[in-house]
Amino acid sequence: MSNTHPTVIITGATSGIGLGLAKAFLKEGYNVVGTGRSQERLQATAAQLDAGERFVGVAGDVALPDTAREVFAQAIARFGHVDVLVNNAGIFSAKPFVQFTPEEIELQIATNLKGTLYPSQEAARHMSERRQGKIINITASIALQPHAGVPALLAVALKGGLNQATRALALELAPFGVTVNAVAPGVTDTPMHAAETHDALGRLHPLGRIARIDEINAAVLYLAKADFVSGTVLAVDGGYSAGR
């Protein structure tokens, strides 16, 4: 079925920033195709969003190329096209580097790196053919400015690499009219961070608090509508990455 509304794919759409983005894009009139690890969580998300046929959930491991192909196939079959991809799925862990197990390292590489690369390949193919589209990566402010008090080497390495990959892919896809940008959030008020940690985490940011999800939404929506912005990493971090 074709559809005149724009369509966005959001990976990791069942909680946190991803769920907030799904709500925000639906409010802006988009069709939303969201990924999640389980059909049960996606069904709960669909019930919460209450968007009827304008939300489609696709279950699968975002680190697998088959999942990326399936989510684009379903989006195109249902809505005819994909206008925006938001690579949101990710995991974050802060602890001394030597404490990471091989299993934890492999999981972070799978989710944070492969989970962005494979959907982006599908987006690049589809959007280049249409000669329009936007890819937006959710990275991390700490990858722009590491902090001695927050040991998070894997996030710095992987999200930092994605910041640079954002710029490289922006150049590669520019001749096809496709823009590629990133949003690098500071610590954000999601279920990942217990309420009792918010004050301490807020003090990491010069503005003295952590981010709200709607503030991340606003940055992503801006990039989804900005036709002459590409290769930008937009920090939404209360000044965290400006320096010390």
What is the pTM assigned to this prediction?
Answer: 0.94
How far apart (Å, rounded) are the C-alpha atoms in residues 109 and 130?
A: 31
How far apart (Å, rounded) are the C-alpha atoms in residues 27 and 88?
A: 18
Long-range contacts formed by 157-164: CB under 8 A, 24+ apart: 158/108, 158/109, 158/112, 158/113, 159/90, 159/112, 159/184, 161/113, 162/112, 162/113, 162/116, 162/137, 163/137, 163/139, 163/233
pLDDT tens, position by position, for the chain (244 residues)? 446 899 999 999 999 999 999 999 999 999 999 999 999 999 999 999 999 999 999 999 999 999 999 999 999 999 999 999 999 999 888 899 999 999 999 999 999 999 999 999 999 999 999 999 999 999 999 999 998 888 999 999 999 999 999 999 999 999 999 999 999 998 877 766 666 777 777 788 888 888 899 999 999 999 999 999 999 999 999 999 998 7
Number of residues that this document lists for the chain: 244
How would DSSP label each residue in the chain? ---SS-EEEESSTTSHHHHHHHHHHHHTT-EEEEEES-HHHHHHHHHHHT-GGGEEEEES-TTSHHHHHHHHHHHHHHHS---EEEE-------S-GGG--HHHHHHHIIIIIIHHHHHHHHHHHHHHHHT-EEEEEE--GGGTS-BTTB--HHHHHHHHHHHHHHHHHHHHHGGGTEEEEEEEE-SB-STTS-GGGHHHHHTTSTTSSPBPHHHHHHHHHHHHH-TT--S-EEEESTTGGG--
Q: Homologous superfamily of 7-236 in CATH? A: NAD(P)-binding Rossmann-like Domain (3.40.50.720)
The structural domains of the chain, with segments of one domain joined by +, span: 7-236
Specify which residues 184 forms β-bridges with: 235
What Å distances lie between residue 87 and 52, 98, 112, 181, 183, CA to CA? 23, 28, 9, 11, 10
pLDDT tens digit sequence for 4-29: 899 999 999 999 999 999 999 999 99
Nearest alpha carbon to residue 62 among 2, 8, 6, 108: 108
Supply the pLDDT for residue 3: 62
Query: What Rg do the C-alpha atoms of the chain give, in angstroms?
Result: 17
27's tokens: 């409010």
